[in-house]
Amino acid sequence: MFVPRDLQTAARAVAVFVTVALTTTVALAQSDPLPSWNDTAPKAAIVEFVGKVTKDGTPDFVPEAERIAVFDNDGTLWIEHPMYVQLAFALDRVKAEAQNHPEWKTTQPFQAVLEGDMKALAAAGEKGLVELIMATHAGMTVDEFHKTVTDWIATARDPRFKKPYTELVYQPMLELLSYLRANGFKTFIVSGGGIEMMRPWTDRVYGVPPEQVVGSSIKTEFQMKDGVPTLFRLPQVNFIDDKAGKPVGINEHIGRRPIAAFGNSDGDLEMLQWTTMAPGARFGLIVHHTDAEREYAYDRNTEFGRLDKAVDAAAVNNWTVVDMKNDWKQIFPEK
Amino acid sequence: MFVPRDLQTAARAVAVFVTVALTTTVALAQSDPLPSWNDTAPKAAIVEFVGKVTKDGTPDFVPEAERIAVFDNDGTLWIEHPMYVQLAFALDRVKAEAQNHPEWKTTQPFQAVLEGDMKALAAAGEKGLVELIMATHAGMTVDEFHKTVTDWIATARDPRFKKPYTELVYQPMLELLSYLRANGFKTFIVSGGGIEMMRPWTDRVYGVPPEQVVGSSIKTEFQMKDGVPTLFRLPQVNFIDDKAGKPVGINEHIGRRPIAAFGNSDGDLEMLQWTTMAPGARFGLIVHHTDAEREYAYDRNTEFGRLDKAVDAAAVNNWTVVDMKNDWKQIFPEK
């Protein structure tokens, strides 16, 4: 192939000029990448870590391909209080499907849901919960389930804030996701929630595509139905991506050890340990819900008490603990 | 932030000029992206498909994020004959570990391996094979297993070609992987082989990073050992990523339906069906091993007979069948 030398030289010269011009413009444009974070310790720790691992030629430098960051979802990226969003979905699905299941009127835990009897629902315990999940999450194709989730997430509203759940995501965490990606990180969700409950909307809301979502799952089966290939969701647990399951899910899906992990509860303890207790620069962060006014205050020394082990471990392992009330300027995105 | 309007306009003008200049240069530089493919039907079909889905504004256009291509590994990207590379690995591991297992001298199927008695090994059947895999693939951490694989793959040689297996990959398929990626595709491996057997080297050899490898797996367990977090490999099957398992593995890992699939055996039938039997432009391809001289001739009307269903389905579904002998100019990469 022949390219005139003049054209090559010209193109190279223009490219250099443009690079300089654009770099200048970008530098001028570079403002605070984390505007919803107060200038307290967590923000400084994040910026310091990102600066360290992206500075070529230093001992802490991490090649771009290995900059893996993992985020819990419930309580870390979006609201989880007073009820997991996925449970709200399951309860709504029971109500929507009740007409096709007359037996639910007199069978627990469905009766409790239909009658709004939260006490009876609580009494059904974990076994009841699994029954609810299987009845509402299985028995359809993956495509059908995605459509149901997409329709629900567009219309359901949080009872206190009267907003779609996808608007009750944490603005500081959205900025953090973008900031990490702008610095060459690949961002993954690693949630105890259902993987197919998240995939229909995580790209739009978080910029995290379906192939970067790890979560709990039920079994699926490939079936040819009247010559049409389908993936059918079966009422059997496949994988629980919580606690000690999180490092397992990370390894199965990502096959690399993350260098940064973000969580909010004891369910994230092992993920934080797996991510940070290794050589090289590592970063762990826990979102501590301390803001009863703008969101909720819970998780330590409350009836929930789900953050005890992780906060104790944070002190030992030098993880950053975000005090929502003091460290976040803004909680939810403005419309 | 204030950016002088003049600077903005100047930068924009220069950017447009450079885009034009570079586009011209790239067009001039564009040579054949698939030089190891003969100018026969398969190459034309590939180029036509890629042209269709990347042309914005046409009905077949597919946005970049949805350009997912899945590749089987054994027999599609690298050699699988006369023995799966992973089985060669397992046999070598039995020999290497025999000193720590004196009982293997008198226990099948290990005795057969140590004595090179392939007849006795065959007699042990699938049960024997699973025993071999568990004895050689479990009982260590994921990191330790990666190191073992890395060391082995660097030193093991194919008995006929006297080369490392990572050099017995198909040059036309390497070009195809690059060509698809250059056209905005994300390339995944979806193999019946062990996921952790591939991850240590797929990025270097195929340009496919660990997070884009799907495969069969055994269970792993998160353990804190003397304060150090580890992932330990257990002797239990977790997932078989073969046949009807392939669409399940694709959905679990990728969460999107691929638009192109590449395989070579009946183990890839369901993956090809799942990928191609859907609306929009789709592409399926089967590598048919017909070249006894440069590689091997097997898989249809041979004692292997593993391609019967897939080749029959190819005719019905308009999948492209590569006749290795006639369609590939070169089989393996030159050093």
Mutation target for A interface from B145, B211, B241: give the one with most A CBs within 10 A: B211
Q: Is the dihedral of CA B96, B97, B102, B107 positive or negative?
A: negative
Q: pLDDT, tens digit, for every residue of B206-220?
A: 999 999 999 999 999
Q: Please say whether the beta carbons of A303 and A82 come within 8 A.
A: no
Q: What is the mean pLDDT of residues B167-194?
A: 98
Q: Please say whether the beta carbons of A169 and A75 come within 8 A.
A: no
**Are both A92 and A213 inside the same structural domain?**
no
Give the domain-ending residue among B127, B155, B183: B155
Counting the structural domains of chain A, the total is: 2
Phi, psi of A204 (to 5 degrees): -65, -45
Q: What is the pLDDT of residue A302?
A: 60
**Are both A182 and A253 inside the same structural domain?**
yes
* Residue type present at position A137: H
Cα separation, B294 vs B145, whole angstroms: 33
**Are both A68 and A114 inside the same structural domain?**
no
Instruction: Indicate whether A25 belongs to any domain.
Output: no
State whether B256 and A210 contact (CB < 8 Å): yes
Cα separation, B284 vs B319, whole angstroms: 5
Question: How far, in whole angstroms, is CA B25 from its chain's centroid?
Answer: 33
Please identify among residues 160-219 of chain A the ones whose CB lies closer than 8 Å to any CB of chain B.
186, 195-196, 199, 203, 209-213, 217
Cα atoms found within 13 Å of the Cα of residue B323, Cβ hemisphere only: 7
pTM for the whole structure: 0.90
* pLDDT above 90 for B15: no
DSSP state of B317: H
**Are both B307 and B182 inside the same structural domain?**
yes
Q: Largest Cα–Cα distance in chain A?
A: 84
Cα separation, A277 vs A270, whole angstroms: 10
A66: its two tokens: 């290995």
Closest CA to A280 of A301, A297, A307, A257: A257
Cα atoms found within 13 Å of the Cα of residue B69, Cβ hemisphere only: 29
* Residue type present at position B249: G
Query: Going edge to edge, which strands form the sheet with A320-323?
Result: A228-239, A213-225, A186-194, A68-71, A260-263, A283-288, A320-323
**Are both A66 and A134 inside the same structural domain?**
no
**How many degrees, rounded to 5, is the angle at CA B133 between CA B223 and CA B252?**
65
Q: Is the dihedral of CA A81, A86, A89, A93 positive or negative?
A: negative
Domain that holds residue B133: 85-155
State whether A255 and B210 contact (CB < 8 Å): yes
Q: pLDDT, tens digit, for every residue of B57-68?
A: 999 999 999 999
Of B10, B227, B248, the CB nearest to A220: B248
Give the domain-ending residue among B155, B181, B210: B155
Q: pLDDT, tens digit, for every residue of B287-306?
A: 999 999 999 998 766 655 56
Q: pLDDT, tens digit, for every residue of A79-126?
A: 999 999 999 999 999 999 999 999 999 999 999 999 999 999 999 998
Cα separation, A60 vs B28, whole angstroms: 41
Cα separation, A252 vs B246, whole angstroms: 15
**Are both B140 and B69 inside the same structural domain?**
no
**Are both B94 and B60 inside the same structural domain?**
no
* DSSP codes of every residue in B324-335: HHHHBS-SS---
Of A217, A227, A274, the CB nearest to B252: A217
Strands B68-71 and B260-263: what pairing? parallel
**Are both A132 and A180 inside the same structural domain?**
no
**Are both B278 and B205 inside the same structural domain?**
yes
B258: its two tokens: 């691929």
Is A27 near chain B, with CB under 8 Å?
A: no
Instruction: Indicate whether B60 belongs to any domain.
Output: yes
Q: What is the pLDDT of residue B304?
A: 52
Beta bridge partners of A239: A217
pLDDT, averaged across chain A: 91
Contacts of B328 (CB under 8 A, 6+ apart): B36, B37, B38, B170, B171, B172, B291, B322
Instruction: Indicate whether A8 belongs to any domain.
Output: no
**Are both B48 and B177 inside the same structural domain?**
yes
3-state secondary structure chain A: CCCCHHHHHHHHHHHHHHHHHHHHHHHHHCCCCCCCECCCHHHHHHHHHHHHHCCCCCCCCCCHHHCEEEECCECCCECCCCCCHHHHHHHHHHHHHHHHCHHHHHCCCHHHHHCCCHHHHHHCHHHHHHHHHHHHHCCCEHHHHHHHHHHHHHHCCCCCCCCCHHHCECHHHHHHHHHHHHCCCEEEEEEEEEHHHHCCCHHHHHCCCHHHEEEEEEEEEEEEECCEEEEEEEEEEEECCCCCHHHHHHHHHCCCCCCEEEECCHHHHHHHHHHHCCCCCCEEEEEECECCCCCCECCCCCCCCCCHHHHHHHHHHCCEEEEHHHHECCCCCCC
Partners of B248 on chain A (C-beta within 8 Å) are 220-222, 231
Please identify among residues 56-75 of chain A the ones whose CB lies closer than 8 Å to any CB of chain B.
65, 68
Cα separation, A247 vs B230, whole angstroms: 9
DSSP state of B117: -
**Are both A269 and A203 inside the same structural domain?**
yes
Residue with tokens 């003969």: B38
Instruction: Indicate whether A4 belongs to any domain.
Output: no
A291: its two tokens: 């803001």
* DSSP codes of every residue in B137-205: HSSSBHHHHHHHHHHHHHH---TTT-S-GGGSB-HHHHHHHHHHHHTTPEEEEEEEEEHHHHTTTHHHH
* pLDDT above 80 for A171: yes
- Per the model's pLDDT, the better-predicted residue between B13 and A184 turns out to be A184
Q: Smallest CA–CA separation between A313 and chain B, in Å?
A: 12
Is B316 near chain A, with CB under 8 Å?
A: no
Q: What is the pLDDT of residue A308?
A: 77
The enclosing domain of A68 has a CATH number of 3.40.50.1000
* pLDDT above 60 for A198: yes
B230: its two tokens: 């580890």
A96: its two tokens: 């929507």
Instruction: Indicate whether A251 belongs to any domain.
Output: yes
Instruction: Indicate whether A311 belongs to any domain.
Output: yes
Instruction: Indicate whether A116 belongs to any domain.
Output: yes
pLDDT, averaged across chain B: 91
Is A106 near chain B, with CB under 8 Å?
A: no
Q: Smallest CA–CA separation between B1 and chain A, in Å?
A: 6
Cα separation, A215 vs A253, whole angstroms: 10
Say which range, A2-11, A205-214, A271-280, B246-255, has the weakest mean pLDDT: A2-11
Q: Please say whether the beta carbons of A319 and A277 come within 8 A.
A: no
Exposure letters B97-115 (e unless 16+ CB within 10 A, then b)? eeeeeeebeeeebbbbbbe
3-state class (DSSP) for residue B80:
coil
* pLDDT above 60 for B243: yes
Instruction: Indicate whether B200 belongs to any domain.
Output: yes
CB pairs under 8 A between A and B: 138
* pLDDT above 80 for B42: yes
Q: Is the dihedral of CA A238, A241, A247, A249 positive or negative?
A: positive
Give the domain-ending residue among A155, A179, A206: A155
> What percentage of chain A exceeds 70 in pLDDT?
89
**Are both A94 and A227 inside the same structural domain?**
no
In chain A, the N- to C-terminal Cα span, in Å, equals 53
Q: Please say whether the beta carbons of A112 and A230 come within 8 A.
A: no
Of B25, B68, B222, the CB nearest to A274: B222
Q: What is the mean pLDDT of residues A71-84?
A: 96
Q: What is the pLDDT of residue A30?
A: 61
